[in-house]
Amino acid sequence: MNLKDILKGIDYKLVQGSLDKEISSVNYDSRKVKKSDIFICIKGYATDGHKYIQKAIENGASVIIMQDDIEVVNKNISVIKVKDTRKALALIGINYYDNPSKKMKIIGITGTNGKTTTAFMIKSILESNGKKVGLIGTIANYIGNEKLHTERTTPESLELQELFNNMVNKGVEYCVMEVSSHSLELDRVYGVDFEVGIFTNLTRDHLDFHKTFENYYNSKFKLFKRSNIRIINNDDNYGKQVIKDLNKLKAKNIYEYSIREDSNFKAFDEKMGSKNISFKVNLEKEEEFILSIPGEYNIYNALGAIGACYKLNIPMDAIREGINKVIVPGRCERTATNYNLPYDIIIDYAHTPDGLQNILETARGFTQGRLIAIFGCGGDRDKVKRPQMGKIGTDIADIAIVTSDNPRSEEPMKIIEDILVGIEKDNYEVIENRKDAIKKAMDIAKENDVIVIAGKGHETYQILKDKTIHFDEREIVKQILDDK
């Protein structure tokens, strides 16, 4: 592809060299650069791509795109200066892959909690209507039923465009994606137009990255400036703020969903069971939906999915069917169901105070015996939520076991000590080793008890100081049972 075509729509200055060059591929990792490639200097958390210009040239780069003033001695190398290399990377990806997101309908979901469940619900609804669907998210990326491994919730902009391109080539009509605050702040979705943007809720998370709650909110809000249809949770205080800020911008196509406030998609007549829930929504007429995962918070997730698909003109039968049959890995997931245990074991990704409260209150609603909670907090992350989670876990559960999550570079016991600061009751035990904590809960569980293992959900690994180990809680539960 010609360099001029790759730079279409980008504000740049040619510092040296020619624009009349054929380009093999685009890279921001100097180690992956090959002959006739573009190397884009990205400033990351840990390092700065400008430091690797010479390495990229040695590997064959013929074009360097930078935002700092760095002299390149070899005058055969084309040097292009831009104001922001992250934005340039996003637009170059769009040009290089021929703007694949324009060839699908993109549905973006942002918020602290509920993104994954809402995404899986929308995928299920669209597939019930016979559509081929791509999904980009926390658990994995999917092209139809093909599961692809993922490193982060939203890929870097170049990989995102490549993934969009693969989806288009495989006949995907709709792409549902979780849009993280990191990806919005770091311009990974810059230049992508969303047919629908959904706001689930906003609670304390990722302040290790964003520093202030205002920054966190502003990152999330960016999605709705780029969306055609906006579906907003009007029961959430920050959802109300999103609506207010969109109205200031005179934005159109704003639709609200709720259980308490008046809205376009308001749930009523909710009936909660231990295995499912039902609720009604007034659309053209009164419609009833049955959801096979419990918890009031999942009604909110379902409303976001219903609202989006209704505005995309998906038939009601497909919406009902998709909502009813959805399965979300690691979200209120019952495990070891084939062992006929006298107690239940639930695995859930809850890793924020709000998320932990939601899953424990839901489980409390159908627990006939004792509620046993196993939880910890991740290392190298926002420390303020640790005591909050300690208080929530011990206030709602009958028995709490405080353990390790993904300690990363921190000492596991230091994290646990931070959690214990918030605990006011004596109904807890500390077991640092997560497998031992799960075993202890299973050893003490009696008939009609419910064990909630919170924090990891779909994850199949544990990140320690010096290594990442395989750690699948479904496998661990099975192993403990088989060893008995």
Q: Residue ranges for the binding site?
A: 30, 111-117, 153-154, 180, 188, 381, 405-408, 455, 459
- Looking at residue 312, what DSSP letter applies? T
Between strands 146-148 and 174-178, the pairing is unpaired
Nearest-angstrom CA–CA distance, 111 and 168: 27
Rounded to a whole number of angstroms, the distance between the first and last alpha carbons of the chain is 62
Q: Which two tokens stand for residue 466?
A: 């010096």
Nearest residue to 459 via CA among 348, 318, 315, 295: 348
Report the relative pairing of strands 174-178 and 105-110 from DSSP bridges: parallel
Alpha carbon 178 to its chain's center = 5
Give the length of the chain.
484
Q: Which one, of 104, 98, 95, lies nearest residue 134 by Cα?
A: 104
Which residues touch 42 (CB under 8 Å, ≥6 apart)?
Answer: 28, 49, 85, 86, 89
Buried b (16+ CB within 10 A) or exposed e, 127-155: bbbebbbbbbbbbebbbbeeeeebeebbb
Q: Tokens 């520093």 belong to which residue?
A: 211
Binding residue positions for meso-2,6-diaminopimelate: 381, 405-408, 455, 459
**Which of 226, 197, 181, 142 lies closest to 307, judged by CA?**
197
Q: Which residue positions form the known binding site for ATP?
A: 111-117
Q: Please, is 403 exposed, middle or buried when counting C-beta atoms within 10 Å of its C-beta (0-12, 13-18, 19+)?
A: buried
Distance between CA 189 and CA 185 in Å, rounded?
9
Q: And the tokens for 163?
A: 């993934």
DSSP 439-455: HHHHHH--TT-EEEEES
Beta bridge partners of 113: none
